[in-house]
Structure formats: structure tokens, C-alpha cells
Structure 1
Amino acid sequence: MELSAATVFLSVVSLVILASLLSRRSKKKRPPGPWCLPLIGNLLHLLTSQPQAALRDLARKHGPVMSLRLGQVDAVVISSPAAAQEVLRDKDLTGPYWRMLRKLCMVELLSAHKVRQLAPVRDGETRSLMRKVGAAGRGGEPVNLGRLLCSSSISITAKATFGRLCGEELQEQYMPVVEVAVKEGGGFSAGDLFPSLWFVDVATGLTRRLWRTRRQLDAIFDKMIAECEAQEEHLLSVLLRIKDEGKLEVPISMTSIKAILFDMLTGGTETTSSAAEWIMSELMRNPDAMAKAQAEVRRTFDGKSPDDHEGLIDKLRYMKMVIKEGLRLNPVLPLLLPRLCGETCDIGGFEVAKGTKVIVNAWAMARSPEQWPDAEEFRPERFDGGTAGDLKGLQFEYLPFGSGRRMCPGDTFGLAVLELIVARLLYYFNWSLPNGMRPDELDMDMIVGSTARRKNQLHLLASPYRELPVEI
């Protein structure tokens, strides 16, 4: 019996459709995402000073693993702890050079032992900060606490990095250069979003400014390296000693040393000062928490020498909860440093292609009502007891320092600085808002660039509670 042409045609079409459906079912889907426009993709969704909030709102519609098109760049945004764990821990790739640098930082530069050795730097510079606050507030004038915190963080990081080489004159030379590098290098340029339009960065002068900044930093670092005293144990001397010993799996070059120095300076300044400013802002908006934290600090520090302050920090249980809650509501890196997908992989049941930029929205997870009761409220007591508030990246809904192999290597040092600054600010001064402002009137507007900082620096009235510490 012969088959008609129509029967054969229908059979072939049916087989093709069935094969297509089976093939489609076998392939993993790309993550869902919002509508996008030709050429610019989803950039219109991110025209805001708070991209982390815009991405949180989009994720509520499209899911915790969401695809975006940023100009010519494919990106995936992660907004759930489970997906963050996949990205930051389970599928994080390393290489020999990266492993060498990580080991260098964790063992030689920023180990717990090294952080303890740098205690005199933290003590001396935070004493200086207290005296500057006292001088600025003399006569009842509002103190620009944000500016003073930034200056103090710069001094602490610089002296930990360069030791006695880094006087005020040198700080005045290199900090404007570092600020330009952070400003110009932070965020996304036209060349980042549209790689084929690299010449736009040249035409706008960005490339020229970045190269000029690099030459200036090179000159400063060359001067520091030439004058470095081997017997003084600061971070630069450690790096030079390790380079000269030549025992690393991958040899370290002078260019690598300069890159590490730059990362130390930028990573340890704005992050710590912004965190302290946010914490003080939250305390000013929550007078009950301020009173409780100050009472604890003063009960612990009264009658003790300033030399003993850092050794008493572990007794400040409530203050530590305040710091954890401040870091939850206002993480300094609301969007963790982007990862680049090294090979096509599965995240949350979706296929993420090689070359995709992966962004973890730590801010969204830290304010998720699914993870935190009363997520928008400042409640330090939520960290009382249990394992809540782990700062080592083991709880993926709470990532103030990131997680996995690429979490912040300076977390121990940064936290030690932050705790001492906050403790001494609470101990030495009584704080109030200027011009009769009520706590709920204090603005909390945020600007997100390389870090999340207050849009308007914090100005407060400071009256001394105890005699300010003398210089050491």
C-alpha cells in the first residue's frame, strides 16, 4: 500500500516538531530577565543612584537568577543565598598565580598574627582621630564626622602598608591620586559596556587620565620601595622580603607588588570609613541602641588605660551586634565585585554561558524579609546568640566581606579597625544631631560607586565624656 505525499509530508513535519521539542526540553534554559532595548539592552533599568535596589526590584519579578544585557555585555544577577553559594563557593575557579597571591595575603600580610602586630598603628591613629573630633567640635560646632573618618582610615591603612615612611606629606601626595584612580576606575565606562566602542574612552580622555594616574602611582611606589627599611615590619617590607627570597610557586614581580599595594590602599580606606559612618548614622536614628551601646562601652572602659582598649573589645558584646547590624543594612559593597564565568555552567537550574559577568546582590539578600524578620528595621538584638551574623562568608544571606576563595582578605584587619573606631567614638563623646533635628529626620541617602557611601557626609555635635587620649 503506497503512502500519499500528504501523509509522508505530515509524518516528516511531525518528526521535526517532536525532535525540536525533545531537544528544547533537554537543553537548560537561560535565566529569565526583563525586557531590553536594541543596542543598550537593560541599561535604562539601572539609571539610578541605587542600582542594588533596582536590581532587587527586578529580581522580585524575574527570579533570584536573572539575566541582563548591559550594552554589549551579558550579565547574570544573583539574589538568593542558594545561588550565591553556587557562584561564590561551589563553582569558584582558581589558578596558580591567584592561589599564590591569596596565600601571600592570608599567611604573610593579613594573618591574625600580622593584624595583632599592627595594633600600635590602630591605637595611635584612632587616638589621633579622637583628638581631631574634639578639636572640630570645640565651641559647639557640628563635626564633619564623615571627612574625619575617611582621613583616619587613610592614615591607618597607609601606615600599616608603608610604616614610618608614610608621613603626612606623602599622604597628601598619594591620596588625591588614589581618589582619582578609584573615581575613574569604579563603575562602568563606555568601553566596559560596549567593548567594540573602546575608542570612546580614548575620545573622552578616560584612558589618558587612567594612564596618567598609573604613572603617578608608579612614581610614588618607586619612591617608597627605594626608601623601604628592611628591618621595619610593615606590609611593603614583607612583600619585598618575599620577592627577594624567591621561594614562591609563581615568582612575584615588582608590578605585582605595586598592584597589591594599590589594592591595600583602596580596599582599606573608603570601606572602613564608610562602614563606621553608616553605623554611627544608624545609632543616631536609634537613640535606645545608642544609649545601650554607650553604656556598655563606658562600663568596660572606665578606669582603664587607653592602652588596654583594644584588648577589651571582645567584652563589648552589644557593640559587636550593633556593628553586625550596621553592616547588614548598609554593606559597603552592596554588589560584590563581579565574577566572569570561565566556562558554561549551571546556576540555579539555568545555563550561564562562558564569558557572562556574574553579579551577586548582597544588599538584596541582607534585606530580604524571607531571610530576616523586620528586615528594614535596625535591630542589633537579632544577632544575639546562635550562629547568626557570621562574618566569614558561611551564611550566604549575610556577606559583608564576601565569601569563598575570593572573599575580602583584609576582613580581620578591617574589622579590628572598625571595632576600635566605633568603641572609642562611643566612649569619648556624647553625640547629638545639629539644629534640633529629630532622629527620624536624619537622611540615609546612599550613593553606590566602587563602594556604598552616604550621599551627604554625617555632621554631628560632639561633647567630650572623658579627657581625650594623649598622643603616643
Structure 2
Amino acid sequence: MAQVLAQLYEHGSPQSLALVVLLFLVAMRLAMPRSRAEKLLSKLPSPPFRLPVIGHLHLVGPLPHRSLRDLARWHGPDVMLLRLGTVPTLVVSSPRAAKAVLRTHDHVFASRPRSAVADVLFYGSTDVAFAPYGEYWRQTRKVVTTHLLTPRKVRCSRAAREQEVRLALARVRDAAAARTAVDLSELFSFFANDVVCQAVTGRLPREQGRNKLFRDLLETNAKLLGGFNLDDYFPSLAGLNVVSAKAVKHRKRWDNLLDSLIDKHVRKTVTDEHEEDFIDVLLSVQQEYSLTRDNIKAILMDMFEAGTDTTYIALDFAMAELMRNPKTMAKLQAEVRRCAGKGKEIVTEEDLSSMSYLKAVMKESMRLHAPGPLLIPHFSMAECDVEGYTIPSGTRVILNVWALGRDPTCWESAEEFMPERFMEEAMDAASDLQGNDFRLLPFGSGRRMCPGINFTTATFETILANLIYHFNWEIPPGTTGIDMTESYGMDVHRKEKLLVVPCVAQDV
């Protein structure tokens, strides 16, 4: 049976996989008595179109954040139970319910459900993002936040960010001189990855010709983690190792890269002229926190993945929206050029502090296009009450932050790109990205909130302000507009490349 499942995983559909295991799972289900947890779950609102074995999987389309939003409108709207395979999953789609999960009962929902792919990729889920709640997770998060992602540490990496900005601007100037389009999706991706690599490893991937390798590794991570993984929906089949072969093969590629980076740092002498980077920090605290080499590799992979993809996706969507809204683009250009002044080689991070409209553009882009629209699932560790329902221990929880950001009962003109809503005089001026406004949670909230918000904000604002300051932008001739079609993996990004034509601004 394992061989058949492996072949179907490689070539078949989720429906065909489910049909193969139909008799096996039905027999198991019939043999099990109804538990207290099942009785509690049966009281939750749930779509009626539940099929044997696969449950509600057939209702979840290729863009799950949209499917779940539509289902919640009919069967929620605050909380809704889906049976995804044999896994009961609570879907949270309102700010009120999100606050109950992420603040009122944060201590209950602070863990993660087991993920077979994450276990393989992250060495037993010993990274920060997927590690179960407990002492190990607390210690590793402390290392990451203290030694890489505090506001002071982010400020210390400013010089590296600004050097990367100079290199990106040079590339765009070459395209402007030739009057050719530049692929901003690629530029943003490599820019974000180079900034992260500099902070984490003290080196740049392009110096060893590794840009393409990094991009390929990160893209495959997203596909494996965001794809249909049989073990995640049918845990009773986990022992068959249907999905692990691909993940194991991919992790070996990470092993080769990460081991070489760590080995270079281990061999480094005290006289080497090299500022302390995050790998140095991890090695220096390895004994204190009882970290194995595999633990270090898992944490490093986390930093590369989260630091690159979140920033690049946010930048890509923001620039796409600006191209679709010329008046908004003009307003942002006016602010950036006014605040920075004339004759700047680059817009520095000191200049950014007074750019309130730039910050509003980032918030609005994150509201409409949260890079991780469903975040990473949470997992309940005890019974608790949410919106009048008792949620049993062991329930998987998905927070649809994409739906929160587009809820028409919470936002005026919810589907429109309107940064003005976050300006000082506007109703939503007090909203921030720090997890305090439960309508706006691109980084999550509570114990499991993404710790990289300061790093992402600095990287986002620095490159976007400079591209807006130095260039005017046009859609390539013959192009009708910007395609906003989404592609779903672990994160959601635009399907098509962002090709735009730069023109050097003459009045700056």
C-alpha cells in the first residue's frame, strides 16, 4: 500500500489518494467510540457537504485563503469547523475570534500541530516557527530575538542594507539607460535574500555564485510545506513515509550548504577580520542552550526562509499596487522626494522616519496581501471557550488573516488599495502591524507572532523609498496592466513576474 500511495502522491490528485485509503480509514473510524472531543466539535458550525474519509477537503480550492473566507461567510462567520481528512480544524475568520485565540487564550493555542514535512526539513521541527510550545522553543526564540531581530540589532545591519540598495539601484539604472523592462520580482527576491544572508552568515550568496541555489532551495521549501501532504490530513498513515522521500532529498541539499557555512565559521580564527554574524552567535551559545548542529541548521533555515520570502512578497505586491494606482504612486513619490531632499545618492534610514505615507503604503499592502494569509497553524493544548464554543485539546487552528484584512464589516472599501486609511487624520490611524489590531495581523500576534517585523519593515521601507525617489515607472509597451493572479505555496505570491520600465527622475 505504501508504494501505491507514494505513486499517487507523485502523480495523482488529493481525491485519488483519499479513495485509495477509503476502506482503511472508514474501518478505523467505525471501530472508535465517540469521544468527548468529538461531542464538543459536533456543536461547532460546519459546512454540511462533508464526504467520507476526505471530509471537507473537496471544498478547499487552489487558493485556500479565498475558499475558507467564502465558506466562513456561509458557515461562520467567527469560527467554523472543517474536517480536513481526519484532522478537525478550527478556522478563525473574525477579529473578535482572533483576539480570543491569540490574546485571551494565547497560552492554550501557542503550540503547533505536527507536520511530517516540517519534521524532515527542520530536523524534527527544532526551528522557531514549527517547534512545539515548550522550553526548547522559548530558548531558541530568545536567541533569535535577542541576537538578530531586536531594533538595535536591525539598526546595526543598516550599512549592509544600504550597500545592497546601491547595487539594486545600479541594476535599475542600467535598465533605464537601455529603456528596457526590469524584473522587480527577481530584484526584490535577491535583494531580500542578500540582506538576510549578510546578517546571518556575514557573507553574500552572490560571492560564491549561490544566488540561484538559495532561491531554488527556498522555493522548494515553500512548495513542500504548502502542498498537499497526505500525512498532515491522515496522521494514521504517517508511518508509511509517503511524503518524506522528497523532503529528505531536499534537506540533503540544505545540509550541504549549511554544513559548509557552519564549518567555515568554526574554522575562523580570532584574528579574522569579520564582524560577528548570527552563525557566530549560535556557535557561541551552543553549549549554554544545548543546541546540536542540527538545531543550529534548523534555526538558520528558518531565518533564510522567513526573512527572504515575507519581505520580497510584500515588496512585490506593494509595487504592483502602486503601478495600478498612479495617483497613489505620485503621492508617495512626492513625500519621499520632499522628505529626502534633492541630490541624494540614496535615501537613508534617517530619512524614513518622517515618511508617514510610505508607512501607510506598507500597512495597506500587508492588509490586502498578507504574505502568509493563513499563518502557520496553531494547536490547542487544553480545552477553552472561544465565541461560546468549547474547543477541545488537540484541535488544529487556522487563522485566516487575509480574510480579516478584507472584512467589509471592519474596513471601509475593504477591497480597494487606500493607504490614506492609515494616515494621521483617518479612522484607522492607530492601527499597526504589531499584533494589537486584530483586523490587521500579517505578522500574527501573541507568543507565536513573527519576531522579524523590525527587520522586514526596515528592509521594505529602505528599498521601496529609493526606487520611488530615483525613478519614475511605466508599464511596458503593449502591456494592458498588472496581473494580480495569486499562486499558493506556504506563502502567497503573484503568479507573474513584475516587469516594469524605469526612467531616471530628472528633478531629484
The normalised TM-score by structure 1 is 0.87
Question: Compared with structure 1, are the counterparts of its residues 466 and 223 closer, same or farther at alpha carbon in structure 2 (3 Å cutoff)?
Answer: farther
Residue 45 of structure 1 corresponds to 59
Residue 127 of structure 2 corresponds to none
Residue 236 of structure 1 corresponds to 279
Helix, strand or coil at the partner of 1:268: helix
Residue 55 of structure 1 corresponds to 68
- AA aligned opposite 1:40: I
**Residues 226 and 489 of structure 2 are in contact (CA less than 8 Å); yes or no, is this contact kept in structure 1?**
yes
1:318-355 superposed Cα distances (whole Å, 9 cap, x missing partner): 11111111111111111111011222322211122222
Helix, strand or coil at the partner of 1:434: coil
CA distance in 2, matches of 1:222, 1:143: 35
Residue 89 of structure 2 corresponds to 75
1:412 to 454, 458, 465: 454
Moved more, 223-232 or 394-403: 223-232
1:342 to 381, 398, 401: 381
- AA aligned opposite 1:88: L
Deviation at residue 428 of structure 1 after TM alignment: 1.3
The yes-or-no answer on 1:433 pairing with 2:475 is yes
Deviation at residue 158 of structure 1 after TM alignment: 1.2
Helix, strand or coil at the partner of 1:164: coil
Question: Compared with structure 1, are the counterparts of its residues 136 and 58 closer, same or farther at alpha carbon in structure 2 (3 Å cutoff)?
Answer: same
1:86 to 74, 94, 100: 100
Aligned residues: 434
CA distance in 1, matches of 2:146, 2:471: 37
The yes-or-no answer on 1:450 pairing with 2:490 is yes
- Identity of aligned pairs, percent? 40
1:209 to 246, 264, 267: 246
- AA aligned opposite 1:421: I
CA distance in 2, matches of 1:165, 1:146: 19
The yes-or-no answer on 1:65 pairing with 2:105 is no
CA distance in 2, matches of 1:403, 1:187: 25
**Residues 28 and 349 of structure 1 are in contact (CA less than 8 Å); yes or no, is this contact kept in structure 2?**
no
Deviation at residue 89 of structure 1 after TM alignment: 2.1
Deviation at residue 173 of structure 1 after TM alignment: 4.0
Residue 390 of structure 1 corresponds to 432
1:296-331 superposed Cα distances (whole Å, 9 cap, x missing partner): 111222335446611111111111111111111111
Deviation at residue 172 of structure 1 after TM alignment: 4.1
Give structure 2 stretches of 5+ with no counterpart. 1-35, 108-132
Give structure 1 stretches of 5+ with no counterpart. 1-22
Residue 111 of structure 1 corresponds to 150
**Residues 422 and 430 of structure 2 are in contact (CA less than 8 Å); yes or no, is this contact kept in structure 1?**
yes
**Residues 197 and 203 of structure 2 are in contact (CA less than 8 Å); yes or no, is this contact kept in structure 1?**
no
Residue 124 of structure 1 corresponds to 163
- AA aligned opposite 1:58: L
**Residues 258 and 297 of structure 2 are in contact (CA less than 8 Å); yes or no, is this contact kept in structure 1?**
yes
CA distance in 2, matches of 1:41, 1:338: 18
- AA aligned opposite 1:53: R
CA distance in 1, matches of 2:245, 2:175: 39
RMSD of aligned alpha carbons: 2.3
Helix, strand or coil at the partner of 2:394: coil
- AA aligned opposite 1:91: H
Max Rg structure: 1
Helix, strand or coil at the partner of 1:243: coil
The yes-or-no answer on 1:220 pairing with 2:237 is no
Deviation at residue 152 of structure 1 after TM alignment: 1.3
Residue 314 of structure 1 corresponds to 353
**Residues 275 and 332 of structure 1 are in contact (CA less than 8 Å); yes or no, is this contact kept in structure 2?**
yes
Residue 10 of structure 1 corresponds to none
Residue 295 of structure 1 corresponds to 334
CA distance in 2, matches of 1:185, 1:29: 29
- AA aligned opposite 1:46: V
Deviation at residue 211 of structure 1 after TM alignment: 0.8
- AA aligned opposite 2:284: R
Deviation at residue 140 of structure 1 after TM alignment: 2.1
1:387-442 superposed Cα distances (whole Å, 9 cap, x missing partner): 5331110111101211111111111001100011110110111101122545xx43
**Residues 165 and 224 of structure 1 are in contact (CA less than 8 Å); yes or no, is this contact kept in structure 2?**
no
Residue 14 of structure 1 corresponds to none
1:41-87 superposed Cα distances (whole Å, 9 cap, x missing partner): 11111123x21111111111111100001111110100111111121
